[in-house]
Each structure stands twice: as structure tokens, then as C-alpha cells.
Amino acid sequence: MSDIKRIDTNAYVTVQGQYAVVNEGSGYAIINTQTKQVIARNISSFLDCVKTLEYIFSNA
């Protein structure tokens, strides 16, 4: 998957535990800061990322 950009490890905001939000320019992405794996991309706003993480953790 050559369309996946490398994550700048200095350009993210930690939201919950090991999960963080990064601005990719065209949208936001949720990443795992330990593995650098992208969990979700093309999210329209930072707040939507936070709400998504809250939803995931409340249903885990």
C-alpha cells in the first residue's frame, strides 16, 4: 500500500492512552503511537476523532 504516508512522530496529539490524532492535511487520522499503525483515516474533524475513540473505549 504505497499510498500510506509515514507518520511524523512529532506531529500528533495523544488523546487516550496509546492512541493519538494526526492531521494529514486532507483530514485527520487516529493512530496507535506504539505501533505507528493507522486505525482510521479521512475523519473530518479533531472532535470526531475524539468522539470515535470515546465510542470505541466505552464499548470495549
pLDDT of residue 16: 84
Tell me the C-alpha to C-alpha distance, in Å, between residue 15 and each of 1, 2, 3, 30, 41.
26, 27, 25, 9, 15
Residue 3, Cα to own-chain centre: how many angstroms?
17
pLDDT of residue 59: 84
Tens-digit pLDDT profile for the chain (60 aa)? 445 566 565 677 888 888 999 988 889 999 998 988 999 999 999 999 999 999 988 987
Element (H, E) at 48: helix 46-58
pLDDT at 2: 47
Ordered by start, the domain boundaries in the chain are 12-58
CB under 8 Å to 14, separation ≥6 — which residues?
A: 20, 33
